């Protein structure tokens, strides 16, 4: 049975075997002669307690002779003790103790908290580059990087002891390395560094305060917008039934709460920055705010996703298809005019399909219907999509685009004026078709001998899925087609100042005849550019624009 006694190493009490006590006292006495520096000896004793902890000997535990031998082997052994004044003692070889680097805050080289200097030490690069990268990220993230910095300041420990400083530099913790570190003079911050530190501290505090204020203003603006309706066109709180809109309200509450908590986090960090004091209460507040804020934000996003799926399912179930036969007079029309309705705001889609039977099919939510007006002579008709109510719709109901399919005779002329997008389709060869487009979109499918397009700036006509022999274009806007046999384009030679440099163009894949007529002059089928428009033949628009020709 071995006798046990008490010993203190670096102010930490241990139980120790008598034989082990004699060995470690002799070792520490030798270290005192070796170190000849109370502060350095204190670092060595702290390192001894760390090594004992790694061997499973906690404070108050029992130190055995094997533990002492292991500590001596790892730290290094003075080979012999020379008489006082005879010179330095020879130290045993360094032990490769935990050679990997560890992340610490380098408080000796710190400008603010030592985080960036510590990261530079860890990655083995000059801290100046880390600081420059941080400054770039600070502006790129609109100040959010300062919050990340402060959180790293909170979770990364400072390198205070010699062992921690050696680990930060990736050096082994031995007697020789501790002595070498102790011999180095600690850097003293220059006046410039002190001024820079003050500027950074107050700058960080001001930036955090501004982020807090911006978050509160953003939350208030969002709540106001939802309560009174964006652009006064709808108000979800006023118009929706609570049973249908509860998820939207809950989402706004959770996201608003996360915004308020973010403002609170910035306020706490700003206060700690200005006071230059980081207490346990501050740490607890930051952790609680971050956890609760992230939970509120993620919950708000989750509720939003769930509610959007529910809304889509509701819209799908409410969508219906209505089929109605048109009057017999409609079978003789030659001109169809499509106009927009102020309540529909151009949403929806109209398809005209050449057919022997005149009818229409409407696929939409309730409250939308087509309105037909047939002229007395039976040769023309006007159609538009209208809504039974002027407002109160959820904005995502516009994703449930109403589709109106009109079946009727082959037309000579189609006119669009501020209308919803229109598609014209025929399954037989049609001799001719004239299309007039004003601030609308038109898509053509089928086979045609002659197609005449009269369009204005802001309009879009697509004939890419149609087979057209002779294409005639007059006006602005954009017209796109595939391979045509003949091409006749008329664009203005003079235009208003605000119209110059617009994207008005006619683009065809090719002209099989090899010639085109531009503003009355026949010439080779090639790209033509003037001040108010252009014709592109066989080239991609993006490639043409990259060359700076327009």
Range of weakest confidence among 39-48, 199-208, 395-404: 395-404
Report the C-alpha gap between 336 and 436 in whole angstroms.
11
Tracing tokens 């309706």 back to the chain, one arrives at 229
pLDDT recorded at residue 168: 80
pLDDT recorded at residue 191: 62
pLDDT tens track for 484-532: 999 999 988 877 766 554 578 999 999 999 999 999 999 999 999 887 8
* 3-class SS of residue 156: coil
Most confident region among 4-13, 137-146, 228-237, 337-346 by mean pLDDT: 4-13
Q: Quick check: 188 pLDDT over 60?
A: no
What's the whole-number average pLDDT of the chain?
A: 79
Q: Quick check: 84 pLDDT over 60?
A: no
pLDDT tens track for 467-478: 999 999 998 889
pLDDT recorded at residue 185: 47
Report the C-alpha gap between 283 and 326 in whole angstroms.
74
Among residues 170, 180, 188, the alpha carbon closest in space to that of 40 is found at: 180
Q: Are 127 and 117 in contact (CB under 8 A)?
A: yes
Range of weakest confidence among 31-45, 295-309, 485-499, 501-515: 31-45
Per-residue pLDDT band at 425 (split at 50, 70, 90): very high
pLDDT recorded at residue 389: 56
Report the C-alpha gap between 491 and 509 in whole angstroms.
19
Per-residue pLDDT band at 242 (split at 50, 70, 90): low
Concatenated DSSP letters of 345-410: TT-SEEEEEE-SS-EEEEEE-TTEEEEEEE-TTSSEEEEEEEESSSS---GGGGGS--EEEEEEPP
Domain residue ranges in the chain:
4-75, 194-317, 319-425, 429-550
- Dihedrals φ, ψ of 64, to 5°? -105, 170
Q: Are 445 and 464 in contact (CB under 8 A)?
A: no
Report the C-alpha gap between 360 and 375 in whole angstroms.
18
Q: Are 360 and 311 in contact (CB under 8 A)?
A: no
Per-residue pLDDT band at 542 (split at 50, 70, 90): very low
pLDDT recorded at residue 91: 39
Per-residue pLDDT band at 95 (split at 50, 70, 90): very low
Q: Are 105 and 159 in contact (CB under 8 A)?
A: yes
Q: Quick check: 135 pLDDT over 60?
A: yes
Q: CA of 422: how far to CAs of 269, 304, 314, 435, 461, in Å?
A: 57, 34, 27, 11, 10
pLDDT tens track for 354-363: 999 999 999 9
pLDDT recorded at residue 270: 84
Identify which has the larger pLDDT, 542 or 142: 142
What's the whole-model pTM score? Answer: 0.55
pLDDT recorded at residue 125: 84
pLDDT recorded at residue 159: 81
Q: Quick check: 548 pLDDT over 70?
A: no
Please tell me the number of Cα atoms within 13 Å of 311 on its side-chain side: 21
**CA-CA-CA-CA torsion sign (100, 104, 109, 111):** positive
Identify which has the larger pLDDT, 69 or 176: 69
- Dihedrals φ, ψ of 374, to 5°? -95, 130
* Helices (H), ranges, 55-114: 65-75
pLDDT recorded at residue 541: 44
Mean pLDDT over 37-56 rounds to 77
Most confident region among 127-136, 231-240, 481-490 by mean pLDDT: 481-490
pLDDT recorded at residue 489: 94
Most confident region among 21-30, 95-104, 320-329 by mean pLDDT: 320-329
pLDDT tens track for 370-412: 999 999 888 999 999 887 654 445 555 555 788 999 999 999 9
Identify which has the larger pLDDT, 282 or 231: 282
pLDDT recorded at residue 391: 45
Mean pLDDT over 125-152 rounds to 78
Among residues 167, 265, 122, 177, the alpha carbon closest in space to that of 114 is found at: 122
pLDDT recorded at residue 355: 94
Mean pLDDT over 240-257 rounds to 77
Identify which has the larger pLDDT, 131 or 251: 251
Q: For the chain, how big is the Rg over CA atoms in Å? A: 40
Report the C-alpha gap between 155 and 134 in whole angstroms.
18
Mean pLDDT over 418-424 rounds to 91
Mean pLDDT over 443-466 rounds to 93
Most confident region among 150-159, 363-372, 393-402 by mean pLDDT: 363-372
Tokens of 403: 């589709």
């Amino acid at each position: 049975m071995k006798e046990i006694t008490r010993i203190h190493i670096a102010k930490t009490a241990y139980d120790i075997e008598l034989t082990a006590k004699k060995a470690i006292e002799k070792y520490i006495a030798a270290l005192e002669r070796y170190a000849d520096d109370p502060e350095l000896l204190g670092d060595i004793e702290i390192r001894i307690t760390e090594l004992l902890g790694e061997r499973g000997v906690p404070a108050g535990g029992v130190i055995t002779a094997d533990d002492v031998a292991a500590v001596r082997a790892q730290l290094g052994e003075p080979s012999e003790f020379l008489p006082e004044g005879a010179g330095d003692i020879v130290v045993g070889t360094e032990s490769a103790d935990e050679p990997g680097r560890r992340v610490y805050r380098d408080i000796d080289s710190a400008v603010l908290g030592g985080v960036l200097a510590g990261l530079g030490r860890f990655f083995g690069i000059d801290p100046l580059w880390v600081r420059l990268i941080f400054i770039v990220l600070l502006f790129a993230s609109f100040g959010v990087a300062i919050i990340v910095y402060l959180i790293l300041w909170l979770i990364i420990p400072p390198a205070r002891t010699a062992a921690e400083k050696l680990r930060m530099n990736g050096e082994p913790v031995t007697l020789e390395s501790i002595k070498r570190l102790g011999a180095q003079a600690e850097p003293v911050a220059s006046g410039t560094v002190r001024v820079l530190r003050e500027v950074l501290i107050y700058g960080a505090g001001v930036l955090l305060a501004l982020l807090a204020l911006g978050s509160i203003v953003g939350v208030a603006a969002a709540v106001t917008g939802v309560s009174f309706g964006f652009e006064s066109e709808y108000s979800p709180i006023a118009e929706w039934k609570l049973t249908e809109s509860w998820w939207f309200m809950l989402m706004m509450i959770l996201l608003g709460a996360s915004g308020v908590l973010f403002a609170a986090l910035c306020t706490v960090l700003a206060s700690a920055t200005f006071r230059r004091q980081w207490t346990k209460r501050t740490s607890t507040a930051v952790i609680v705010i971050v956890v609760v804020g992230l939970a509120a934000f993620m919950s708000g996003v989750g509720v939003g996703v769930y509610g959007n799926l529910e809304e889509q399912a509701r819209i799908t179930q409410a969508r219906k298809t209505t089929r109605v036969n048109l009057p017999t007079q409609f079978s003789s029309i030659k001109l169809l005019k499509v106009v927009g309705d102020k309540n529909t705001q151009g949403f929806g889609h109209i398809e005209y399909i050449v057919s022997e039977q005149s009818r229409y099919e409407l696929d939409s939510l309730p409250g939308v219907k087509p309105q037909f007006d047939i002229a007395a002579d039976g040769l023309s008709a006007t159609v538009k999509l209208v809504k039974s109510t002027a407002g109160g719709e959820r904005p995502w109901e516009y994703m449930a685009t109403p589709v109106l399919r009109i079946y009727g005779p082959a037309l000579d002329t189609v006119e669009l004026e501020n209308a919803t997008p229109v598609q014209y389709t025929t399954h037989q060869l049609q001799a001719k078709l004239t299309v007039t487009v004003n601030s609308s979109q038109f898509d053509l499918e089928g086979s045609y001998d002659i197609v005449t397009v009269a369009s204005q700036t802001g309009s879009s006509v697509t004939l890419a899925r149609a087979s057209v022999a002779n294409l005639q274009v007059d006006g602005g806007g954009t017209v796109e087609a595939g391979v045509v046999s003949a091409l006749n384009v008329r664009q203005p030679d003079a235009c208003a100042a605000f119209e110059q440099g617009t994207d008005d163009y006619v683009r065809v894949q090719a002209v099989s005849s090899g010639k085109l007529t531009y503003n009355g002059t026949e010439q080779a089928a090639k790209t033509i550019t003037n001040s108010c428009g252009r014709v592109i033949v066989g080239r991609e628009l993006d490639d043409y624009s990259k060359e700076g020709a327009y």
